[in-house]
Structure 1
């Protein structure tokens, strides 16, 4: 039976990103690279950047269309993944450095290689994986390595480990996470905990880009909101013409639609990333440790308000666009009604002018009949004068008798000409 051409690729995609298996103790460094703001993503450059790192260690290359790769790079195991908006690099190494969260751990990514990255750092982290210590020892480590007011820690996955982090950037430019693992926890489960922490940090950082977008457009939205309110107030007054108000509304509506189009992807991505953050926290199945705030509580206090701000900005932008559109429709209706009134007044004026022209035409026709009749009577008189003596009439009497038939004949001829050229009126005048 013939398979769908995408059957195997799609089925394998479900198994393409396995969790790493990590022994205890070990360390990990994590890096997420996103495109430069306002620039399109260059996947070819991202692949070339990956290959440059692999070639330094003589590692095999991934397939040309691969979106993930895992292999040995020196003493580290490197895991590379390409996501919708960013790429991630995670390097794992057995054992721990003498200095906790030593910036030297990040040297698995050479400085010149980092400078040549086709993008900017979205986030980076140093993760330390240790055996679970006694509460007093662990408490001292938390106090030494994290900012107390931002520290979030919890037992996760039914007590498999205690995780901690303060979501602050340390002097070396990295986030710090500590995972202390219970003795009975297996390597696969340790890998799941670490990957979920990395995903939590990455998607938290990417979703915060929506807050930056909302803050950037906030002042302009305030200005447009004020202008829109003023224009809608102008709609109720007669001091400003409807055409001028409509022009202003159309400008605001066009700008709002442009802002909505430019922010649509970022706001949609923020919603998706927020959902992933919430999901990853739920997967950790947190339990309170030593009365400290958990990761979920930290997110509800610090992260959720930012996401609500983004959602409010999105709703505000959509609401203002709808207001401008409705106001424009109302104003267009008003303009149409006014134009119809103007058209009716123009038609009435044209009717009056047509009546006046008709009256003038009739007057001219009457005068034309008189003038033509005068000359026609004169001509008839000249023709009939030789007969005046024969029939015994004076010239004056003969001229008087010729006037009625001549005038009637001229009038009939003028009326016939007007009728043939469509000039007859309905009143029979």
Structure 2
């Protein structure tokens, strides 16, 4: 029998690890997303689990397994759902029934204030969702929306083939909560209601997470505004022959290094922003919105208020990439110029070395000529002393002997030096 891959069951179980909640109408959902103010790679996930266990311990609920990334439990009259994501953790608390006062902040007391105060991170999203039956008279819905939300930013629409109406104004109330409401048509299934509530929570969370890139983009734009004139100045100075190419290259390398550093520091956040933006748009698309009473839909709200922020992030990211490419191209051109100048210098150096070698050769020939004379002089002197007794016996004067020895000795020395030169070359 064939063996299963060690991770086969674990991978299949991952598909079913985060089911949608099953919610009966009427009900209420309190949602919280907590993010540490550091990059995801440095998160201490054990602190998140310890914080979850502290909440569960207050209600005597079962604790999650070590290293868990999701957990569900009952805490009092609420059903708690906890999930750990790449950069943040989320807490969802669902309870049957509604508070007498719409969007009563006491509904969020399922998360105690002292427990929130020691959370390993900061609150990035907090949502209170009210789910109630859809009235037969649509004017009641309109009245409630006008009472509960800011008209200027209110978004409302039918979703999932008019199974429900969703509404929200994306405003944070005095209790620090963002309010949404769902009017579910009678007969709408509990799991469908749960999917709608889950989508609303995800839209707000990923919207908030994606907009973290906006602050980074604004800071980056300010720095790029300062670097752009410097880079333009360096590029404009490339054809200037009066400016030292190596000094220009050094300045360009400093700019390139800073641009590369900026790209490294912002690449994760900009990449995450793009991914979160795609999730926001996907979550809105799956709701299949249709217009309700002439109100703007969630998709229209995002196109007007959210998309410009995302375009700003993309613009800053694209500008950084363009400036880095400009610096790289300028560096290549400048390196080519430096190489050409060095080649010209090397050519001049070689020509100078050739001239010096020629002078050295001429000097060598001169020295060789003088050496022949000097050697011949000493050779004639020695030969004269050696042959003088013979010359006296033959009654030759010393001058005659010297006159005979000079051409013979000079010729012999010259031939010897020539043979030595030929042997060396």
TM-score with structure 1 setting the length: 0.93
SS of equivalent residue, structure 1 residue 185: coil
Distance 1:385 1:272 in 2: 111
Aligned length: 422
Q: Deviations over 1:229-264 (max 9, x none)?
A: 111112111122111122222222222222222222
Distance 1:344 1:73 in 2: 85
SS of equivalent residue, structure 2 residue 296: coil
Distance 1:196 1:169 in 2: 18
Other-structure match for 1:7: 8
Gap runs ≥5 in structure 2: none
Offset of residue 138 of structure 1: 2.2
RMSD, matched Cα: 1.8
Other-structure match for 2:163: 160
Distance 2:102 2:281 in 1: 29
Other-structure match for 2:344: 341
Distance 2:12 2:376 in 1: 107
Offset of residue 355 of structure 1: 0.9
1:368 is the counterpart of 2:350: no
Q: Within 5 A, what are the aligned runs for 1:94-105?
A: 94-105=96-107
Q: Deviations over 1:351-397 (max 9, x none)?
A: 11111111111111211222222233233334444444544544333
Other-structure match for 1:20: 21
Q: Within 5 A, what are the aligned runs for 1:260-275?
A: 260-275=263-278
SS of equivalent residue, structure 2 residue 72: strand
Other-structure match for 1:187: 190
Q: Please tell me whether the aligned partners of residues 46 and 67 of structure 2 are also in contact (alpha carbons under 8 angstroms).
A: no
Other-structure match for 2:218: 215
Q: Please tell me whether the aligned partners of residues 214 and 309 of structure 2 are also in contact (alpha carbons under 8 angstroms).
A: yes
**Aligned partner (choices 78, 82, 95) of residue 84 of structure 2:** 82
SS of equivalent residue, structure 2 residue 319: helix
Q: Please tell me whether the aligned partners of residues 156 and 292 of structure 2 are also in contact (alpha carbons under 8 angstroms).
A: yes
SS of equivalent residue, structure 2 residue 179: strand
Other-structure match for 2:64: 62
SS of equivalent residue, structure 1 residue 240: coil
Other-structure match for 1:201: 204
1:358 is the counterpart of 2:376: no
Distance 1:84 1:384 in 2: 109
Distance 1:149 1:89 in 2: 30
Change (3 A) 1:159 1:368: same
Distance 1:363 1:115 in 2: 97
Distance 2:118 2:142 in 1: 40
Distance 2:44 2:389 in 1: 115
Gap runs ≥5 in structure 1: 425-429
Distance 2:244 2:290 in 1: 66
Other-structure match for 2:118: 116
Distance 2:176 2:3 in 1: 53
Offset of residue 203 of structure 1: 0.8
SS of equivalent residue, structure 2 residue 172: coil
Distance 2:58 2:81 in 1: 16
SS of equivalent residue, structure 1 residue 62: coil
Offset of residue 198 of structure 1: 0.4
Deviates more, 1:392-401 or 1:336-345: 392-401
Distance 1:188 1:38 in 2: 35
Other-structure match for 1:427: none
SS of equivalent residue, structure 2 residue 67: coil
Distance 2:329 2:72 in 1: 55
Distance 1:77 1:112 in 2: 20
Other-structure match for 1:31: 32
Offset of residue 165 of structure 1: 0.8
